Structure 1
Amino acid sequence: MTTSSPKTGPTATATTTTHLDPELFDLCVRAFAGVPVADDNHTVAAAVRSRRTGETVVALNVYHFTGGPCAELCAFGAAAARGVLPTDVETIIAVCRRQKEQQQQQQLQKGPWDGAGDGDVVFRVINPCGRCAQTMLDYNPEIGVIVMDRHGREVKTRARDLVAYPSVWEDGNTGREEKRKALEAGRTGEE
């Protein structure tokens, strides 16, 4: 059972729905432990897992009317600070937190919402926005992205499949080759 505080919301997690990646989903839910439920500036958490080490990193969005970064981009930055570069990310997931009444009014998408705390807070996987999808495509087209399909089910797809008509560099790639060369040069000590 999830415990909660009226000021911060859930402090632990127990999901009522089976998730595609329960570890990453729960990591996102726990990231909200110190954030008051009424805080509208941090409503989405994203978690990534390293392909190489299995390490997981989570971050919250930073909403601002000027276009603050989404949780997915914050997670990439937090992961990079720990040595997990986007080319090493195996999986990413984004989970939003809503007050149940807000979710019911907005009818955002079909799909499972997990109750938490006293039943006033719900969590669910949300799909990346266009900017995040393009960033994932540019950083690493092979990243596994957990999304909600049109039937409200969690599915895992690749970043390359998120954007129907992606913007690609003039030479036809997404920057992957340049990033690969830069990483190889860094690993071998070459300039």
Structure 2
Amino acid sequence: MTTQNHSVDRELVEAAARVARTRCRGDNHTMAAAGRGRDGRIVTAVNAYHFTGGPCAELVLVGAAAAQGIYELETIVAVGDRDRGVVPPCGRCRQVLLDYFPGLEVIVGGGEDVRAVPIAELLPVSYVWADHQVDAQ
């Protein structure tokens, strides 16, 4: 993995942390996400935990962004409730984010090691669903 140093969108991290502090309550909502659209707008979301596999905050954010007319995200971050800080996306979210936004930057790490990395670096040698769709047409 060849991680490059990308500047961290601190405003985005704080937006997610604020939502985690104020909106995550109980076991149903334990993670918050914030994403920045290409137009600069910030959209936030929380997960919808359910034993059947409810969506992670990052996936809820993809839908919430589209509902607000934001179809291109530049950067995304997830933050855990109870001051857990930045949490990297799970494997399913990594795949979905790569397919929707191949140029996306994802904020990962903790403490002094918070950094932004390209989504492709979080899912090396990945299957690209969009490539499959081109072949199917």
Give TM-score, length-normalised by structure 2: 0.82
1:94 aligns with 2:51: no
Q: 5+ unaligned residues in a row in structure 2: which ranges? A: 1-6
**2:122: which partner in 1?**
162
1:56 aligns with 2:42: yes
> Per the alignment, in what secondary structure is the counterpart of residue 173 of structure 1?
helix
Name the CA shift for 1:76/1:56 in 2 (closer, same or farther; >3 Å): same
The Cα offsets for residues 101-134 of structure 1, whole Å up to 9 and x where unpaired, read as xxxxxxxxxxxxxxxxxxxxx2300100000000
Superposition deviation, residue 30 in structure 1: 2.0
Query: Would the aligned equivalents of 2:74 and 2:105 in 1 still touch at CA under 8 Å?
Result: yes
Between the aligned partners of 2:62 and 2:109, the Cα distance in structure 1 is: 21
Superposition deviation, residue 47 in structure 1: 0.6
Out of 108, 113, 121, the position equivalent to 1:147 is 108
1:45 aligns with 2:6: no
Name the CA shift for 1:35/1:96 in 2 (closer, same or farther; >3 Å): closer
Superposition deviation, residue 54 in structure 1: 0.3
Give TM-score, length-normalised by structure 1: 0.60
Superposition deviation, residue 93 in structure 1: 0.4
> Per the alignment, in what secondary structure is the counterpart of residue 95 of structure 2?
helix
Q: Which has the higher helix share?
A: 2
**1:78: which partner in 2?**
64
Runs of 4+ aligned residues of structure 1 deviating over 4 Å after TM superposition are none
Q: 5+ unaligned residues in a row in structure 1: which ranges? A: 1-18, 99-121, 179-191
The count of corresponding residues between Structure 1 and Structure 2 is 128
Superposition deviation, residue 174 in structure 1: 6.6
Between the aligned partners of 1:174 and 1:28, the Cα distance in structure 2 is: 33
> Per the alignment, in what secondary structure is the counterpart of residue 16 of structure 2?
helix
Out of 14, 29, 34, the position equivalent to 2:17 is 29
